[in-house]
Amino acid sequence: MREPIITGRRDEGDEPPPRGPREQRALDPFEEKLRPQRLGEVIGQRAVAERLAIALEAARRRDEALPHILFDGPPGLGKTTFASVLHNELGVELNITSGPALDKKMDLMPYLTNAVERSILFIDEIHRMPRVVEEFIYPVMEDFRVDIVFGEGMAARTINMPLKKFTIIGATTRSGMLSGPLRDRFHLHEHLDFYDVDDLARIIQINASKLKTTIDDDAAIELAERARGTPRLANSRLRWVRDYATARANGHISKEIAHRALDMQEIDQAGMDKQDRRYLDTLLRVFHGGPTGVEALAATMCLAVDTLEEEVEPYLLRREFIIRTPRGRKATPRAYDHMGLARPAFDDGPLFDPQRRLF
């Protein structure tokens, strides 16, 4: 008898699924220590947490698996945290993988065939799954089955292998890259937004306590204001300031210690680092505020275009230091103010006045 294959065209290089325990993605021990363990411990994202609490309670009362959930949003806002919290709330098994790791259909098979009732499969960067794997997962999400084909040609026969009813939680930073059919198969679609300063300050205070470090309220606010609205970055800032306070002071984090530590990292009051300010300096000084193309900026800064578009510009756009126009990037009055430069005369009025034809 020929080796069974999965429904659809067989991929070259497909191998049988590995036997034995499944491998899970290693998580940063530092981040794991600071993660909330229960939904009630989650700070921020209140509307999302409330909707998840309803889904949890309904699943408990019906003794069913959670519906499939898709989390989208920028990196570091808690997509993995929510998955681990839901796993703890239900007391079920959690398996973690990522879209790039699922190169072939057979890479997904161990997670499916070994899934237990009401367990959770978390797929990070789900938008990076190959199309063949994405199409293979459709019947899994809808009917909890895998179609296996034995033989080839006229002698082929199909066996439907039922699966346990479990939950797939997907996380993506680019939900627009997901196909419509895959996106529609998630019953809950939650967007995570950036955190405000008060929520971040509270997170920093709680995590400082977990790290057995004391911190003043105004120091926590100082850290929160420079964390770009991102808990992961706030934890990173806290870790550095904690090290600085241990090495250069008595271990207690005051506002002055936090200020000195972040200044040493060249992180300013707006949360911008050296590369962000270099971008603005190049745009303002070399290109006179623009508009100019990103390729010209990248060449002048000796950086790749992708680095500017993916790492530098998103925060500058969100803080309204720059705008994108049909003719290229252009600095806003806020950028001149932040860099301590005088605004050009034409920027004294509204930036988008169509009568003035700035662009």
Catalytic residues, by residue number, are: 79-80, 124, 173, 232
8-state DSSP, 314: H
Residue 314: phi, psi to the nearest 5?
A: -55, -45
Residue 215: phi, psi to the nearest 5?
A: -145, 140
346 CB burial (10 A radius; 0-12, 13-18, 19+): exposed
Tokens of 29: 């021990």
Dihedral Cα 270, 271, 274, 280, nearest 10 deg: -40
Dihedral Cα 86, 89, 90, 94, nearest 10 deg: 50
What pairing do the DSSP bridges indicate for beta strands 322-325 and 5-6? Answer: unpaired
Provide the 3-class DSSP secondary structure of residue 187: coil
Give the bridge partners for 120, in sequence order: 94, 167
Give the residue carrying structure tokens 């808690």.
78
- As a whole number of Å, the CA-based R_g of the chain is 25
Cα(54)–Cα(86) distance, rounded to whole angstroms? 12
